[in-house]
Amino acid sequence: MLFWRRSRREIAMGYAIKLTYKEVDALDGLRLRTPSADVFRNCLIILLSNSRTTVGSIAQHLRCSPETVQRIRKLYRTGGIKALHPIKPPGRPSRATPQFLAALKKAVATSPLQLGYGFSNWSAGRLAAHLAKITGVRFSDDQIRRFLHQEGLSYQRPKHTMKGKRDEAAFRKARRQLAALKKGRLQLMRPKP
């Protein structure tokens, strides 16, 4: 392994990282295997830093800022090769709090008629309006559908039947007669001329 002592001039110009052959192989392997463009760039920054290239020329060559090169080099010095993977920022917290999701589940489990509405089935728009009235947080129809999916609830159109609005005994009798007719067991009764 070849090591050379860094002079003050080299440190001032940005020659700050010296790698062993094992470290070079590990960085090169990661660079060639990774699907992430950021990790690829970070590996190149460290590899170019080993070859006595200045911060400015690395930044110009990779089309990034000198501050990025210095930040990546600092990350590598403190965390090693694992620090070259970018950390995803946490982002803004969702407005759909656990209390909102609980209200969503409760509303879906309850019939709209029991809540005083004039309809018997929830739609995403109706559910969004109801939840906005209850919780004070308004979401779009698409977001309500997404929340339903995340909570394991399905969103389907209702199947409209005549069940409850017809004479069930007469319906069952007619269905049996139709099935028997299809099997050829029942003769159609024709009116006599």
The whole-number pLDDT of residue 190 equals: 56
Tens digit of pLDDT at every position of the chain (193 positions): 344 444 554 444 445 688 999 999 999 999 999 999 999 999 999 999 988 788 999 999 999 999 999 999 999 999 999 999 988 877 888 899 999 999 999 999 999 989 999 888 899 999 999 999 999 999 999 999 999 999 988 777 767 776 667 777 888 888 888 888 777 755 555 555 5
A 10 A CB-CB count for 107 gives: 17
Spatial CB neighbours of 40, under 8 Å, sequence gap ≥ 6: 31, 34
The whole-number pLDDT of residue 120 equals: 84
The alpha-carbon radius of gyration of the chain (Å, integer) is 35
Which region holds residue 155: left if phi is over 0, alpha if psi is between -120 and 50, else beta? Answer: beta
Q: Apex CA 67: angle with CA 62 and CA 69, to 5°?
A: 45
